[in-house]
Every structure is written in structure tokens, then in C-alpha cells.
Amino acid sequence: NAGVTQTPKFQVLKTGQSMTLQCAQDMNHEYMSWYRQDPGMGLRLIHYSVGAGITDQGEVPNGYNVSRSTTEDFPLRLLSAAPSQTSVYFCASRPRDHYEQYFGPGTRLTVT
């Protein structure tokens, strides 16, 4: 199993550009989540999904959209990037009845 994969590893955007961070898992996990990590802030939940077709907002959802059309994929979209979205983004997944989350390697995003 590849586990949780994220692409790209690094990305630089200009203010106002859009992009999609990709996340995929091959463990057939129902739950998937997106977090952002800023220095000194720990990890903050952006959006999460409890299954295909179901998504919900986390702590800091503004400026981000998600969809879950398949069990495997959970892309995160930035419609109009802002410098405040400069961060490291982590995707995670877990089975429905288990508490252990599996994290991807992260995407480091810089918005200038």
C-alpha cells in the first residue's frame, strides 16, 4: 500500500491564482481530512469527509473548497490564493471505527 499520497510536494502561487492540492489513499478509509500547519499554530482542520459525497467544514474552512467523489480521492481547492494561505498542508485518512489517522507527507505552499 502507498498509504496517503499528496501532490505536489512544493508549490508557489501568485496572489489570486487558483490550484488544487491532490490527496489520495489506497486503504479504503471512509474518513479523510485536510489540515494546515503554520509555525507555532499546530495543525488546524480545514475540511473533512466521512465518505464519498459527504464533506463538512472544520476550524478554518474559508478560502478552501473540497469534494469527495470517490473513496480514494479528496482534493483541496484554493479558488483565489492569498498570502495568508502560505502554509504546509497535510491530508489524512482513517477507517470509520478506528481512531488512528494516517497522514500524507504534506504540501508546502507559498503564496506571493
Partner 1 sequence: LAKTTQPISMDSYEGQEVNITCSHNNIATNDYITWYQQFPSQGPRFIIQGYKTKVTNEVASLFIPADRKSSTLSLPRVSLSDTAVYYCLVGLYSGAGSYQLTFGKGTKLSVIP
Q: Which of residues 50-89 bind partner 1 (CB under 8 A)?
A: 50, 56, 58-59
Nearer to partner 1, 36 or 111 (CB): 36
Bridging pattern class, strands 76-78 and 64-66: antiparallel
The conformational region for residue 2 under phi > 0 = left, psi -120 to 50 = alpha, else beta, is alpha
Q: Is residue 38 at the binding interface for partner 1, with CB under 8 A as the rule? A: no
Query: And the C-alpha cell for 1?
Result: 500500500
Q: Is residue 20 at the binding interface for partner 1, with CB under 8 A as the rule? A: no
CA pair distance 2, 52, nearest whole angstrom: 20
Q: Indicate which single residue of 46, 60, 106, 109 sits in contact with partner 1 (rule: CB under 8 A).
A: 106
Residues that bind partner 1 (CB under 8 A): 4, 31, 33, 35, 40-45, 48, 50, 56, 58-59, 90, 92, 96, 99-106
